Every structure is written in structure tokens, then in C-alpha cells.
């Protein structure tokens, strides 16, 4: 014991006696009171692209004094020789919740629970709880050394800390990960403004959908702009004041998914904002769209785990999309780099922070260059939040935030020794450990043992042997030239003898000290170096082959293609053509398609270079048009009583497999409607089934504008006894319309007065009322969910009161009762062929309804309102031939020309006529037959579905699934973590679906 005490005394005297110019050999022992440190002979990356060999870094206090090759070192500096080591700027993470309290999500998910219409907070704040622009993270920030340490170990020196709460989240704070008091680590108290598509802790009912989130953001931008000019009015909104104050900061948007990334950028474009967007790591799946946004990104490295597919039935639950993402996700950073997209990297989303380096090195293996990786961890995040003058590189005047590593930091065996933050060293691993590995002869109490020291230099492993070969139970460690060693002298597993416990120090590979034998007797001991460890012969390594990675397909799901389908010229020969025009059904006729249009119709037409398609014995029709559908959407309902501000185009999901399925059923266009949760729903999106195209390219440009209204049980919340939202009766529904259109009239009058004389008060732009004004002016048409004749009559009277007309009553299962009134009013009907008795208000439905409305002169269509029915609308049309003897041509028009008329698109689609869009379907049989199959479905002259190609695709899908499953099995067999599959199927929306925008939707 005396020797140990003498050793420690000598050690302290040694360090206290160092002169300022002496090389300092031991990290963690530097005196904070010494102001200047010099790190010499290092390889220094001053930034992501500048590498200096044998260079010096000089720091004083928190800042860098000099960096370079010919730095003059002051006499008073403490010098550390880092020969063979590397210095890098410390990393920056722009998406963390570091030092902030956890957010308890209170968003309403249970729609059978009592609703909250108004916001909970009191005071002059915004009317919607999800707009939290007045939040300042710095006011709640409190350092957390445990979290800071885990981030420091990864190489991070500073982070942006935000509260993930709300659609507008307020401001974040930029801090370092030093353990100093909060006052010293805050670098920028308001570093950025934050937004998302997640209402967070708000329990207010509206919004609940992606359309609602977008609408709320758009309205808030408009409100904030109006508020700037409304200072003289008797109105205060502290939230909008904060919102406006934050607009000069970097604008960060958490999009959560590639489709949401594009949606977010669209909002930014509308209001002149270029968001920095936090993505989800799936950007490679829509790389051209992502590139077109010109957004700077923040990208996570949370690559998905393999799936445990040992049970073949469990394996069936995994979608091809999820399996492909598992394999291709690590390529995402490299794809972004190749496409010139600016991005930083974040550790956010990692279940285990230790996976950060593993995943980063995997990304490098998959093609990400080390230069781009370093840039994404240093320079780019500093640039994104305008902190380049403080962080992101090593130059004079910047904070002394840097890493010391054993070598190239991206190499697999590289270690981070120290992370310096604001001029203070934080030890990660000791970089001055001596190599004590080898075989020693351990002598104590006249007995000798063999001591083996193995393992890594910074993590030695100790093992004691009796008679050179019998391994004894051993525990121990070596640190700072000190050793502790415990072992059981008796090798018998059942021995109850105690441990011999030794402690000592090491000098030139000679160990000595004091200890206690297992009987409690004190004794001296020593261990002399005998020989080096025997090197195990290296296994001959096979040349590493880059793993096979699948190719991204568009869309990134089953039945996608590596390249989008190409438009072509086609000649369909000798088909039975259902023209839907005066010519009727013509036999043995050719149809020539050029430039996406129907160019000629006739017999024996010359091909003129067009691809010839044999139509002999087959039927050619115009594509089916579904007037009422909810496919290809990420959400279907929002829940404000008047939701006219929401737009279904903001929810279009171009990767919905139902698009492909509808093409297989001959559908070429659909109106995507809001649901029926409220009297006034959202604005429609009319699309063509351009499978594989981006959302914006599905929309029919220049299509007439529509909106969804609704009547009946859904609107008055018959199924929700806890509902407090007005209206709760059918009479209340009428009053909602009257009140809404009255407000819209007053709103329009206010704008007209302002335009006539700008001295009048400028009205606040109201997206809800703007849509209603469009209806009043005949610029937007109504499709109204309806069942009961009394309400249908009411709706027509309300429209006539305000001098407009209802365009279409949809569902309208009691249409046969009021068809004469509909004809007089000018309304069309879009109905089901034979649905009835699925709820009380449809008790009077009859299958003769389409026929009776048609006979009365009402333009009548048959719609689906259901993804499954949508792909067999040809058969639904055929039912009216059975019920009442409708002609085949009239029946076919109910799913082609008539819906085109209801959508005011009949001049370009709905029939086979020269000049119209080449939306065509080639059927194997009479299209009204249950035996008919769509062999080819063409949209704008492009074949998006081909029956023969479909067979090839199905085989390739099975082959790809098998390949990926074998690869997952191999990964699991090699020790990779694997998760149990869970069902993640496609959700088919219906009119009455009211759901929150759940996490699985975000992933899209």
C-alpha cells in the first residue's frame, strides 16, 4: 500500500512540475487555467475539403487562434504532439430535442370521444392550438450531461434543439454540448423557426388530415401578412406577432416522408419560403422530384432493420416496398450526393445512438464519399442555420470545437480520442495508452502463473492460467499504467474458495504491487514480460464484392418500373369500337392515336409508323371515369363544420396500388373527393391514372374546380353520441349552408368595396370563404353526398336562394323520387348500381334508381366510392341492363361519357372522337360482361397497363421478394437485428372515414 501511495504522489509531482513548453502526454489531465494549447504534427481537416499534413492547431480559451503549417507557438502554450493523429471540426446535429422537456402528445385520435372545438390556452393567442409560433426553446433549455455525453462520443460538438410540438413549432436554440452552465453553451437563442405536418400536443379537433395541416399553414401565412397591416385595429394576436418575427430566421420543416417533403416545398413556393427540410431517408425513391424542389435537406441515418421471415406466413405480411427500402435505404445519402442535393446528417431517429457510425460507414460503402460525409456533418449544417462564422470548420476566431482521432475518422478501426468543445477537452478514449499485450510470468507467494494480456490497446483483456494451460476465473483491468487483477486460484468450477485480489502499477512492461490472497493474507507480487502474443494466421480474405442492390422503381412499390411508361403512336386495328357518339358501336374499325390524342377513326387506316395493336375480336372503349372516388389519397376527411379551405390535391398519393388496380379494370380518370364528415367538405382533385408519375402530374391541368358537400347521418354525427360539433340535426345542416353562404356574400362585398376604393379596410383573406365565393360566382361546382329526398330538396332550395345550382348529387339512392325536380334544377346524379340497406337512411334504395333518373332526363353516372368497386365499374354499369332493360350503350355511358359531362370534361374525354384525349381500353370481351378483361389501358396515348406485361411483372415481383427474403435471412444469420413483421397494408378510404394522420401515413 505504501508503494501505491508513493506512486500516486510521484505522479502528481510529475504533472505539477511540467514546464509550459513540454509535450503533454496524458489527456484528461490538462489544467483548465492554462490559456493556450497547441496541437502539433497532426493531420488537420480545416474544413470538409482542405487537408493539412503535419499541421498545428492553436487555441486560446473558447476560440481558435491559428491553424496551419507554420504556426508560431507561444512559450506559455501547452503543447500536445499528435503525430499520426487527425483533427476534424466537431459535428453539428440540426434535429435534436436535447435539453428540452418531453412533449406529451395530446392530439385527438379517438373520434368517438368528446370534441374540442376551441383552443385551450387563454389570452391573445392564435385560434388554433397547433400554431405555437410564440414558443422559444431557449426559455426551457436545460443542459443534460448524460445526453450530451452520448452525443459527444459520436463526435457532435453542437446541436440545434427544438420542441417537436405543433404545426408551427416556434424557435429552436443552438447550443454546444459542453458541460458548462446554460448561459455559456447557448450560441444562438433563436436559431431557426420550425414547422411540421403534426399538430403535436394540441387536442383541438381541427385539423386531423394532411389537407387540413396544409390549409392551416396556408391560412396562417395569409393571416400573418394581413396582421402586419392591421396594427391600428382593435385586434391582437401574440402568436402572429411571433410568427412574423421568426420569418427572417432559417425556416426548418420536418416533412416525415418523401411525399410530404414535396408538399412542404409547395407551401414554401407559394409564400416565397425556401424551407430547409428534415427528410426521412427515403428521398432516393423520388429523387427527381426532390431535386426539383431545390431544398436543402437534413437526412437521418436510421436505416431499417431486416425482417424476421423465419415464419413464411409472417413473411407474407411484408410489402415489397418495405423490403426494397430495407435494402436501398443505405444508398440514400449517396444518391443525394450524386444528384447535387445539399444535405446535412442527423442522428435523429436512431433507436440506438451507437448505430450512428455503423450506418454512416455503411452509407460510405454504398457510395457516399468521405468528403460529402464530412461536409454533411460540419460545413452544411453550419451553413443551413447561418452559423458559419462560429462553427463547421477550423479557422481563426471560430469556436474551438474539434475532434482528435486515431486516423481517418471514417475508417472502420478509427477511434475518436477527444472531443473539444468551446476549448474544453472531453475524453472519449485514451489516445496515449501503451501496448501491454503479451504473456507475463506472474509470481506471488512462491507460486507462478501465466498472465495473458490481450484485447485492444484501450480495452485490455486479462486471463490467468495455472500450469500454463488451465484457465482460471479472472477479472481485471489496466488503466493509466495501473492494474487490478482478481482471479480464483482453484480451477474447480464448484470451488468455494475466494479470489486473490492484486493491485499495482506497470513500468516498462514490468508489473508489481501488493495484494491479498484468497485467504486474506497480504503479499507482494510481480509479473515479468515473457513473450508477445502468438499471432493467429489470417484467414485468406476473399476480395470484397459490393453487395447487389436493387434498382429504384417508379412508383417505389409493386408493379413499378425502372422507367416511366413512354407516350407513343398506336394503331388499334379491326376492333369493335364503342364510340359513345352518334355512330354508336361500330365493327371492324381502326383507331389511330398520335401525340396522345385520337387522330383518326375508320377502316383500313395506314399505320404511318405507329405501333400496330391487333384488336380483332376485341372491344375498344373510352376509359372509365369514376365520378366519386377516394383512392390515391393519404387522408379523406377533415372535421371543421365548413372545411372548404382544404384541398384534396394536397393529399394525393401517387403510389397507391389502387391506381394500378383501377387501370387493370379500365379506369383512366377519377374525381378524388373529400369525405362526408361535414356539411362543407374539401376541394376535389380530378386525376388521370398516370401510374408512376408524381402527384402533380396525376392532376388534370385546367380541370373545372369542384368541392364536396354532404347531407345526412354522417354530417349530423349520428354514429358519435359524444359529438358536440354543430350541427347535430338535419335542420342544423341547412342552417350551416345558409350561414356559410351569407358570410361568403359579405366577404365578397368587402373585397369588392376595397378594390373599388382602397381607402376601405382591406379584408383578411379567408381560404374557407374564398372557395364559397367561387361557388356563388359559378367558378366551382358542388358534388353533394345525399340520400334522403327531403334533404335533396332542401339543398336545391338553398342553392336557388343564393342563385347557383348543385352540379351533382352523389349516392342519391332516393334520386328516383326527386328526378323531376333535379331535372328542373339542372342537377346530375352519380349513384350506386345496387347498394342498399347498409344504414337506415338508405332503406328506400332500389336497383332501378339509375334507370329511372336517366329516363327522367337526368345526366346519370355510376360511381364507386370504394377502391374495390372502382376496378369493376364496367360490371356495375352492366347491372342496369339487367334491372329495367337499359340499352348497353346507355349503360356504358354511365361510367364514361356521363361522368365526363358531370365533371365538365366531356369535350376532352368520355368518348372515342377525333381530337379527344386517347384514354382508351382494349377489352377481351363485351365490356359489360363479367368475363371481360382489360388487356390494355391507355391514358393520353401512353399504355399504363398491359395484361401480358402484368404477367411478367408478377413473376418478377415474386422473384424479387424471394431474393430479398434470402438476403434478410443471411443478414439475420450474420448477427444483424431483425424485427417481427407487422401488417402494413394499403388503407382503402371511404366517405365516412375520420382518422388522424397516423405515423404510417407519414412514412409516405
φ and ψ at 163, to 5 degrees? Answer: -100, 120
**pLDDT computed for residue 544 by the predictor:** 52
* Stretch 934-963: mean pLDDT: 97
pLDDT in tens, 593-606: 999 999 999 999 99
**Cβ atoms of residues 401 and 408 within 8 Å:** no
Instruction: Using the predicted structure, report yes or no on whether residue 31 has a pLDDT greater than 90.
Output: no
**pLDDT computed for residue 459 by the predictor:** 79
Instruction: Report the half-sphere exposure of 224 (CA within 13 A, side-chain side).
Output: 21
Which position has the grid cell 367558378?
Answer: 779
Q: What is residue 716's DSSP assignment?
A: T
DSSP letter string, 862-900: E--SSHHHHTTHHHHHHHHHHTT---HHHHHHTTTHHHH
**pLDDT computed for residue 492 by the predictor:** 65
Q: How many CB atoms neighbour CB 544 within 10 A?
A: 7
CB neighbour list of residue 593: distance below 8 Å, 6 or more residues apart: 568, 569, 570, 571, 572, 599, 610, 918, 920, 938, 941
Q: Where are the alpha helices (DSSP H) in 846-987?
A: 849-855, 867-870, 873-882, 888-893, 897-902, 947-973
Q: Give the integer Cα–Cα distance in Å for 716 and 712.
A: 7
Q: Cell digits for 482? A: 495501473
Q: Which of 794, 737, 649 is nearest to 809 (CA)?
A: 794
Rounded to 5°, the CA angle 276-215-637 comes to 120
Q: At what angle do helices 730-756 and 767-776 cross, to 10 degrees?
A: 90
Taken in order 150, 152, 154, 156, is the CA torsion positive or negative? positive
Instruction: Using the predicted structure, report yes or no on whether residue 117 has a pLDDT greater than 80.
Output: no
Give 492 or 860, the one with higher predicted confidence: 860
Q: Give the integer Cα–Cα distance in Å for 765 and 90.
A: 47
% residues pLDDT > 70 (the chain): 91
Q: Give the integer Cα–Cα distance in Å for 283 and 337.
A: 12
Give 272 or 314, the one with higher predicted confidence: 272
Q: Cell digits for 670? A: 377519377
Q: How many CB atoms neighbour CB 74 within 10 A?
A: 14
**pLDDT computed for residue 306 by the predictor:** 92
**Residue 450 is inside which H or E element, if any?**
strand 447-456
Q: Which of 435, 494, 444 is nearest to 464 (CA)?
A: 444
φ and ψ at 307, to 5 degrees? Answer: -100, 145
φ and ψ at 450, to 5 degrees? Answer: -95, 130
Instruction: Using the predicted structure, report yes or no on whether residue 663 has a pLDDT greater than 70.
Output: yes
Residue 946's pLDDT band (boundaries 50, 70, 90)? Answer: very high
**pLDDT computed for residue 30 by the predictor:** 46
Q: Give the integer Cα–Cα distance in Å for 187 and 176.
A: 7
Residue 1's pLDDT band (boundaries 50, 70, 90)? Answer: very low
**pLDDT computed for residue 989 by the predictor:** 82
Pick from 388-392, 459-463, 540-544: least confident: 540-544
Q: Give the integer Cα–Cα distance in Å for 529 and 548.
A: 49
* Stretch 305-324: mean pLDDT: 90
Give 770 or 22, the one with higher predicted confidence: 770
Q: Give the integer Cα–Cα distance in Å for 565 and 827.
A: 38
Q: Which of 811, 816, 863, 817 is nearest to 838 (CA)?
A: 811
Instruction: Using the predicted structure, report yes or no on whether residue 70 has a pLDDT greater than 70.
Output: yes
Q: Which of 521, 532, 524 is nearest to 443 (CA)?
A: 524
Q: Which of 104, 377, 122 is nearest to 238 (CA)?
A: 122
Q: Cell digits for 559? A: 408493379
Question: What separation in angstroms does the CA of 323 have from each of 192, 558, 655?
Answer: 36, 11, 16
* Residues across the chain: 1004
CA 936 to chain centre: 34
Q: How many CB atoms neighbour CB 525 within 10 A?
A: 21
Instruction: Report the half-sphere exposure of 46 (CA within 13 A, side-chain side).
Output: 18
Pick from 537-551, 877-891, 939-953: least confident: 537-551
Mean pLDDT in the chain? 91
Could you tell me the strand order of the sheet in which 680-683 lies?
A: 680-683, 705-710, 780-786, 808-811, 828-831, 860-862
SS3 338: helix
Bridge partners of 625, per DSSP, are 669
Instruction: Using the predicted structure, report yes or no on whether residue 580 has a pLDDT greater than 80.
Output: yes
**pLDDT computed for residue 219 by the predictor:** 98
**pLDDT computed for residue 354 by the predictor:** 87
φ and ψ at 830, to 5 degrees? Answer: -125, 115
**Cβ atoms of residues 254 and 194 within 8 Å:** yes
Instruction: Using the predicted structure, report yes or no on whether residue 928 has a pLDDT greater than 50.
Output: yes
Pick from 173-187, 388-402, 555-569, 686-700: least confident: 555-569
Instruction: Using the predicted structure, report yes or no on whether residue 1002 has a pLDDT greater than 70.
Output: no
Q: Give the integer Cα–Cα distance in Å for 472 and 130.
A: 64
Residue 737 buriedness (CB in 10 A; 0-12 / 13-18 / 19+) = buried
Which position has the grid cell 348529387?
Answer: 809
**pLDDT computed for residue 113 by the predictor:** 56
**pLDDT computed for residue 337 by the predictor:** 98
**pLDDT computed for residue 28 by the predictor:** 39
Q: Give the integer Cα–Cα distance in Å for 810 and 902.
A: 11
DSSP letter string, 490-536: ---TT-----EEEEEEEETTEEEEEEE-TTS-EEEEEEEEEEPPPPP
Burial 397-424 (b: 16+ CB within 10 A, else e): ebbbbbbbbbeebbeeeebbbbbbbbbb
Q: Cell digits for 590? A: 381502326
DSSP letter string, 538-551: PPPPPPPPPPP-PP
* Stretch 714-735: mean pLDDT: 82
Q: Cell digits for 523? A: 503479499
Helix, strand, coil percentages (3-state) for the chain, rounded to 5, are 25, 25, 45
Residue 85 buriedness (CB in 10 A; 0-12 / 13-18 / 19+) = buried
Q: Cell digits for 755? A: 378594390
**pLDDT computed for residue 545 by the predictor:** 62
**pLDDT computed for residue 432 by the predictor:** 62
Instruction: Using the predicted structure, report yes or no on whether residue 118 has a pLDDT greater than 50.
Output: yes
pLDDT in tens, 410-458: 999 899 999 999 999 999 987 766 788 999 999 998 899 999 999 887 7
* Stretch 123-141: mean pLDDT: 94
Rounded to 5°, the CA angle 920-925-931 comes to 115
Bridge partners of 454, per DSSP, are 461
CB neighbour list of residue 159: distance below 8 Å, 6 or more residues apart: 92, 93, 94, 96, 98, 151, 174, 175, 177
Pick from 81-85, 197-201, 721-725: least confident: 721-725
Strands 522-531 and 510-516: antiparallel
Q: Cell digits for 393? A: 470548420
Which position has the grid cell 385546367?
Answer: 702
**pLDDT computed for residue 434 by the predictor:** 79
Q: Cell digits for 226? A: 394581413
Amino acid at each position: 500500500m505504501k508503494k501505491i501511495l508513493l506512486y500516486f504522489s510521484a505522479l502528481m509531482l510529475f504533472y505539477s512540475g511540467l514546464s509550459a513548453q513540454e509535450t503533454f502526454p496524458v489527456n484528461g489531465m490538462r489544467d483548465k487555467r492554462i490559456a493556450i494549447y497547441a496541437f502539433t504534427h497532426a493531420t488537420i481537416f480545416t474544413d470538409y475539403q482542405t487537408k493539412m499534413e503535419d499541421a498545428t492547431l492553436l487555441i486560446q480559451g473558447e476560440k481558435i487562434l491559428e491553424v496551419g503549417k507554420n504556426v508560431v507557438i507561444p512559450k506559455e502554450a501547452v503543447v500536445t504532439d499528435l503525430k499520426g493523429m487527425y483533427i476534424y471540426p466537431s459535428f453539428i446535429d440540426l434535429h435534436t430535442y436535447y435539453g428540452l422537456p418531453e412533449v406529451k402528445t395530446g392530439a385527438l385520435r379517438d373520434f368517438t370521444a368528446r370534441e374540442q372545438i376551441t383552443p385551450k390556452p387563454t389570452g391573445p393567442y392564435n385560434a388554433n392550438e397547433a400554431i405555437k409560433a410564440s414558443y422559444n426553446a431557449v426559455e426551457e433549455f436545460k443542459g443534460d450531461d448524460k445526453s450530451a455525453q452520448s452525443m459527444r462520443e459520436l463526435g457532435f460538438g453542437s446541436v440545434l434543439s427544438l420542441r417537436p410540438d405543433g404545426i408551427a413549432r416556434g424557435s429552436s436554440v443552438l447550443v454546444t454540448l459542453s458541460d458548462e452552465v446554460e448561459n455559456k453553451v447557448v450560441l444562438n437563442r433563436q436559431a431557426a423557426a420550425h414547422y411540421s405536418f403534426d399538430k403535436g400536443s394540441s387536442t383541438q379537433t381541427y385539423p386531423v388530415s394532411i389537407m387540413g395541416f396544409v390549409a392551416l399553414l396556408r391560412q396562417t401565412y395569409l393571416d400573418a401578412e394581413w396582421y402586419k397591416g392591421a396594427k391600428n385595429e382593435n385586434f391582437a394576436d401574440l402568436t402572429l406577432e411571433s410568427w412574423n418575427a421568426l420569418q427572417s430566421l432559417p425556416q426548418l420543416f420536418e416533412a416525415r416522408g418523401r411525399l410530404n417533403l414535396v408538399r412542404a416545398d409547395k407551401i414554401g413556393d407559394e409564400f416565397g419560403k425556401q424551407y430547409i427540410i428534415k427528410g426521412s431517408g427515403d428521398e432516393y425513391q423520388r429523387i427527381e422530384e426532390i431535386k426539383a424542389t431545390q431544398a436543402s435537406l437534413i437526412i437521418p441515418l436510421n436505416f431499417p432493420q431486416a425482417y424476421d421471415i423465419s415464419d413464411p406466413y409472417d413473411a407474407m405480411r411484408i410489402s415489397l416496398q418495405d423490403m426494397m427500402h430495407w435494402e436501398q435505404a443505405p444508398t440514400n445519402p449517396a444518391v443525394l450526393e450524386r444528384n447535387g442535393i445539399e444535405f446535412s446528417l442527423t442522428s435523429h431517429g436512431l433507436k440506438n445512438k451507437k448505430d450512428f457510425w455503423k450506418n454512416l460507414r455503411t452509407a460510405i460503402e454504398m457510395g457516399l464519399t468521405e468528403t460529402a460525409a464530412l461536409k454533411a456533418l460540419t460545413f452544411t449544417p453550419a451553413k443551413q442555420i447561418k452559423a458559419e462564422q462560429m462553427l463547421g470548420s477550423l479557422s481563426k476566431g471560430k469556436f474551438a470545437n474539434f475532434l482528435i482521432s486515431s486516423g481517418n475518422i471514417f475508417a472502420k478501426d478509427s477511434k475518436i480520442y477527444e472531443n473539444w468543445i468551446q476549448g474544453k477537452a472531453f475524453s472519449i478514449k485514451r489516445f496515449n495508452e501503451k501496448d501491454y499485450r503479451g504473456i507475463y510470468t506472474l509470481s506471488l507467494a512462491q507460486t507462478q502463473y501465466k498472465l495473458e494480456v490481450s484485447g485492444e490497446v484501450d480495452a485490455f483483456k486479462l486471463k490467468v492460467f495455472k500450469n500454463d494451460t488451465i484457465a482460471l476465473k479472472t477479472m481485471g483491468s489496466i488503466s493509466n499504467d495501473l492494474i487490478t487483477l482478481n482471479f480464483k486460484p482453484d480451477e474447480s468450477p464448484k470451488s468455494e474458495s475466494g479470489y486473490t485480489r492484486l493491485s499495482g502499477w506497470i513500468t516498462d512492461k514490468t508489473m508489481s504491487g501488493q495484494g491479498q490472497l484468497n485467504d486474506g493474507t497480504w503479499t507482494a507480487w510481480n509479473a515479468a514480460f515473457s513473450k508477445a502474443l502468438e499471432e493467429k494466421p489470417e484467414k485468406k480474405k476473399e476480395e470484397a464484392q459490393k453487395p447487389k442492390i436493387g434498382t429504384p422503381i417508379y412508383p417505389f412499390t409493386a408493379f413499378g418500373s425502372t422507367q416511366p411508361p413512354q407516350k407513343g403512336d398506336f394503331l388499334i386495328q379491326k376492333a369493335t369500337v364503342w364510340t359513345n357518339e352518334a355512330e354508336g358501336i361500330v365493327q371492324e374499325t381502326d383507331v389511330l392515336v398520335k401525340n396522345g390524342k385520337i387522330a383518326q377513326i375508320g377502316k383500313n387506316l395506314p399505320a404511318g409508323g405507329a405501333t400496330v395493336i391487333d384488336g380483332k375480336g376485341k372491344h375498344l372503349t373510352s376509359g372509365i371515369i369514376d365520378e366519386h372516388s377516394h383512392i390515391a389519397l393519404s387522408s379523406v376527411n377533415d372535421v371543421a363544420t365548413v372545411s372548404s379551405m382544404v384541398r384534396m390535391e394536397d393529399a394525393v398519393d401517387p403510389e397507391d396500388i389502387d391506381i394500378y388496380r383501377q387501370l387493370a379494370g379500365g379506369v383512366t380518370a377519377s374525381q378524388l373527393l373529400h369525405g362526408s364528415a361535414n356539411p362543407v367538405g374539401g376541394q376535389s382533385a380530378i386525376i388521370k391514372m398516370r401510374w408512376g408519375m408524381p402527384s402533380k402530374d396525376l392532376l388534370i391541368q385546367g380541370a373545372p374546380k369542384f368541392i364536396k358537400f354532404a347531407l345526412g347521418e354522417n354530417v349530423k354525427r349520428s354514429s358519435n353520441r359524444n359529438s358536440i360539433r354543430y350541427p347535430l340535426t338535419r335542420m342544423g345542416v341547412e342552417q350551416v349552408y345558409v350561414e356559410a353562404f351569407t358570410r361568403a356574400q359579405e366577404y365578397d362585398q368587402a373585397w369588392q368595396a376595397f378594390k373599388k376604393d382602397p381607402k376601405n379596410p382591406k379584408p383578411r383573406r379567408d381560404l374557407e370563404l374564398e372557395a364559397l365565393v367561387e361557388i356563388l360566382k359559378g367558378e366551382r361546382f358542388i358534388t353533394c353526398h345525399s340520400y334522403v329526398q327531403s334533404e335533396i330538396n332542401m339543398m336545391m332550395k338553398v342553392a336557388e336562394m343564393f342563385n347557383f345550382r348543385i352540379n351533382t348529387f352523389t349516392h342519391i339512392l332516393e334520386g328516383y323520387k326527386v328526378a323531376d325536380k333535379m331535372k328542373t334544377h339542372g342537377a346530375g346524379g352519380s349513384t350506386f348500381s345496387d347498394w342498399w340497406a347498409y344504414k337506415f337512411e338508405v332503406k328506400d334504395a332500389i336497383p332501378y334508381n339509375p334507370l329511372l333518373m336517366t329516363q327522367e332526363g337526368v345526366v346519370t353516372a355510376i360511381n364507386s366510392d370504394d377502391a374495390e368497386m372502382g376496378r369493376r365499374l364496367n360490371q356495375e354499369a352492366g347491372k342496369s341492363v339487367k334491372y329495367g332493360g337499359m340499352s348497353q350503350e346507355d349503360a356504358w355511358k354511365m361510367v364514361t361519357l356521363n361522368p365526363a359531362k358531370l365533371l365538365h370534361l366531356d369535350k376532352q374525354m368520355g368518348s372515342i372522337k377525333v381530337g379527344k384525349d386517347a384514354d382508351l381500353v382494349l377489352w377481351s370481351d363485351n365490356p359489360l360482361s363479367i368475363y371481360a378483361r382489360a388487356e390494355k389501358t391507355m391514358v393520353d396515348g401512353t399504355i399504363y397497363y398491359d395484361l401480358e406485361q402484368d404477367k411478367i411483372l408478377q413473376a418478377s415481383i415474386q422473384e424479387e421478394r424471394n431474393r430479398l427474403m434470402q438476403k434478410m435471412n443471411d443478414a439475420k444469420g450474420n448477427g444483424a437485428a431483425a424485427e417481427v413483421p407487422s401488417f402494413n397494408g394499403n388503407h382503402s378510404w371511404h366517405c365516412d372515414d375520420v382518422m388522424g394522420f397516423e405515423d404510417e401515413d407519414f412514412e409516405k
